[in-house]
Amino acid sequence: MMSVAVIGAGSWGTALAMLLAGHGNQVQLVGRDPDAVREMHDQRENRRYLPGMRFPDALTPTCDLSQALSGAEQVWLVLPSGALETFLREHADQLPRDVGYVSASKGFQSGKARRISEMVADALGPVRFAVLSGPTFAGEVAAGAPSAVTVASEDPGFAKAVAHVVHGPRFRAYTTDDVLGVELGGGLKNVLAIAAGVSDGFAFGANARAALITRGLAELIRLGDAMGAHRETFMGLAGLGDLVLTCTDNQSRNRRFGLLLAEGLSKDEALQTIGQSVEGLQAAAEAKRLADRYGVDMPIMTAVNHVLFEGWSAKDAVAELLSRSPRSEGL
């Protein structure tokens, strides 16, 4: 049994806290809204994000970060990337250096395209760090549906320790040392999910969706090659697995965001309709920044960036992609 602090009481943070507590760990789930935390404490569920999902007895919601950190052996960071940047900046002095940190966030530092691992290293220095990613929807994990993830750390022992904490009869965890590849796969698949939503919103059909997923994966691999990631990572759970899930199921906020864009809504109207963070929105700008920085051709993600930040209509972006000259299928 381990003491764990989970920072972030949204749907994914809550689901992971429930998973960890269900495996016998003592878990404190840290939220910032006192009213919401009080309601979770009284009702023993997160009615806003995961209604009807009963908390295990070992899960304690709290607003007291100091209390949650006291005695914690692992700290799980489960905040949207923008909120995580602010959290690290504001609480760097309070966060201990002698515990392990696990990121279950997916995204990049706005304007700099820095990954979560880089943000944590900048804020905290050389701490034990792992990232957890894979094809998972919060509601299914909270309900105990079979799921599998990848845990990546440059410290193989810590990767195994994190995998051991989450691994259970209905939740499998595999390990790797490719932190870079896992973070790229988890962050950039959201951009491709927006594209898939646009495609399906225009009723282009299953053929187009399959082509988009396949060529989107090629873009991920090309960027990974340029940055030094392992190709096999993109063929695994944190790459292809997460990409297929996010592009094909309407539980994905990013896919739904693309569907709304295809209906003619502005990005602000689409965000308001969804009512939660859409990581692919900010990640699209960072994908374009990475493509330019490393000289990598990433036409699908670039087209999404055109729509979100350069005033293109979704129809114009599709026309641009379809007008590209034939080429070899090789990467």
| 3-class SS of residue 150 | strand
The CA-atom distances, in angstroms, between 203 and each of 197, 206, 267, 291 are 10, 9, 20, 29
Strand partners, 29: 6, 61
Rounded Cα gap, residues 192 and 295, in angstroms: 19
Half-sphere exposure of residue 298: CA atoms within 13 angstroms, side-chain side: 33
Tokens of 32: 């910032």
Please report the beta strands in 126-258, taking only residues with DSSP state E, as ranges in sequence order: 128-133, 147-152, 171-176
| 3-class SS of residue 213 | helix
Q: Which of 106, 112, 160, 189 is catalytic?
A: 189
Angle value at C-alpha 308, between 305 and 310, nearest 5 degrees: 75
Query: How many other C-beta atoms are found inside a 10 Å radius of the C-beta of residue 98?
Result: 7
Q: Which residues contact 221 (CB under 8 A, 6 or more apart)?
A: 231, 234, 331
Respond yes or no: is residue 189 known to be catalytic.
Answer: yes
Tokens of 30: 């840290």
Length of the chain: 331
Annotated catalytic sites, by residue?
189
